[in-house]
Amino acid sequence: MKKLSIIFVLMVVFALALSACATPTAAPTQAPVTQETAGGDAPVIAQPKGEILIGNLQDESGGMKALSSALTYAATMKIEEVNAAGGINGRTLKLVTYDTRSDVNEAINALRRMVEQDKVPVVLGPPIANIGIAVAPIAEELKVPIVGLFMDDKCTIQENGEPWTYMFLAQDSATYQGLTMAAYAIQELGVKKVAILYNSSNSYSVGLATPFEEAILKSGGEIVAKETYTGTDKDFRAQLTKIKSANPDVIYFPSYPVEIPLIYTQAYELGIKVPMLGSNSVPPTGLAPSTDPAATTNTFYPYGINPSDPVLVDWAAAYKAKFNSPALAQSFSGADAFGIILQAIEACGDDITSVCITEKLNTMESYKGFQGTVKLSPDTHQPIGLPLAIMTIKDGAPEFVTWYTPEGPAK
């Protein structure tokens, strides 16, 4: 019996050891950093000399790795470019990456470690709203700014309507995207009866579905079906059959990449022929080879960029050559998020502190990036009115349709 107990212990230890191997966390560098104290208990993270460390809070091994790695890759490209040109004010940059595995507790611990141990004065945040919501109060406590792609309003705006001091969004918010898609559905597709299928356990999905629904109702449209699913679901036929029976003019399904091909395929298999409106998680390369092109002949979804823009095409080619992975929408907006961080650091000169970077982010006039000229609102810490590219899929390949805003076609 004793031998058996030992075997069990060994097996559990082995499984745990493998588990640890599966989460490769980038080893942070120990660059020269200091910590000062400003006004009582408020720690100020400062980097007066040497390499400038920038935190990178991403999912490197979890279910959202595909989207999250896009930011790491974009930041890596930007860093190599800046360092090759001599750095910022003569100082080179270094990314300190911690793996969140898309887990909020891991993310909170990782943020604490990168700030308290590695002393990063600013962090590139993830494209995951659930994590954005979780780390917002921690950033407030640590007084370190995070610039990311967490789209839910709750990531940047507190319940009292005030912005979180240290949270900044570098792409259009979920509310803006939801409103834009509703405007496009009503004004361009002429729909009246709308069905919504969304993930009720995901802030991103809920954050998009809610303003979309409100805008449809406000415009005189009707929600004929509203179906939900949870994060682990793979079969959506029950919900889609119910939606089909409601006979909608259009179906809106703000979903994550893992669910999108399944929803397209299953809707197609059920004979649903109405337009399918998606979110910005559709890969820019399309859905081949996993999804039958016949399943995506009538779909529209929003993007922060027009992937056919020649400047972006060149950058995407360099990106793919370097990482052997196609550039996603999050690669471009992630590059903008990182560019905003670098612009704030540059504006701080020799005063590389969390306080200065936060102040520069709050007062930044604008940043010219892949998404256009990004202006962060001091009231929401979100970009002010960036038009969204409405995309469609033709023969399995994405195609740009038009630029759109919640008010209608972009000027």
Footprint of other proteins on this chain (CB under 8 A)? 1, 3-4, 7-8, 11-12, 14-15, 18-19, 21-22, 61-63, 65-66, 101, 200-201, 227-230, 232-235, 237-239, 241-242, 244-245, 257-258, 261-262, 265-266, 268-271, 289-292
Give least dist CB 325 to other proteins, A: 11
If the CB atoms of residues 118 and 227 are measured against other proteins, the closer one turns out to be: 227
The DSSP code for 364 is -
If the CB atoms of residues 59 and 172 are measured against other proteins, the closer one turns out to be: 59
Structural tokens at position 201: 């356990």
Give least dist CB 18 to other proteins, A: 4
If the CB atoms of residues 169 and 225 are measured against other proteins, the closer one turns out to be: 225
If the CB atoms of residues 97 and 265 are measured against other proteins, the closer one turns out to be: 265
Structural tokens at position 242: 């119910």
Q: Which residue has the tokens 């360099």?
A: 318
Give least dist CB 83 to other proteins, A: 28
Residues 6+ apart with CB under 8 A from 214: none
Give least dist CB 274 to other proteins, A: 15
If the CB atoms of residues 9 and 318 are measured against other proteins, the closer one turns out to be: 9
Give least dist CB 263 to other proteins, A: 11
Q: Whole-angstrom Cα distance, residue 297 to residue 233?
A: 24
If the CB atoms of residues 246 and 364 are measured against other proteins, the closer one turns out to be: 246
Q: Which residue has the tokens 């400062």?
A: 46
If the CB atoms of residues 175 and 239 are measured against other proteins, the closer one turns out to be: 239
Helix (H, G, I), strand (E, B) or coil at 218: helix
If the CB atoms of residues 61 and 109 are measured against other proteins, the closer one turns out to be: 61
- C-alpha separations of 372 from 149, 184, 266, 328, 356 in Å: 16, 21, 36, 17, 25
With CA atoms as reference, report the closest residue to 45 among 119, 107, 111: 119
Q: Whole-angstrom Cα distance, residue 265 to residue 400?
A: 22
Backbone phi and psi for residue 45, each to the nearest 5 degrees, phi listed first:
-85, 120
* 127 and 102 Cβ atoms separated by less than 8 Å: no
* 140 and 158 Cβ atoms separated by less than 8 Å: no
Q: How far is CA 215 from the centre of its chain?
A: 23
Give least dist CB 260 to other proteins, A: 10
Give least dist CB 375 to other proteins, A: 34
Q: Whole-angstrom Cα distance, residue 393 to residue 155?
A: 31
Give least dist CB 230 to other proteins, A: 5
Q: Whole-angstrom Cα distance, residue 354 to residue 363?
A: 14
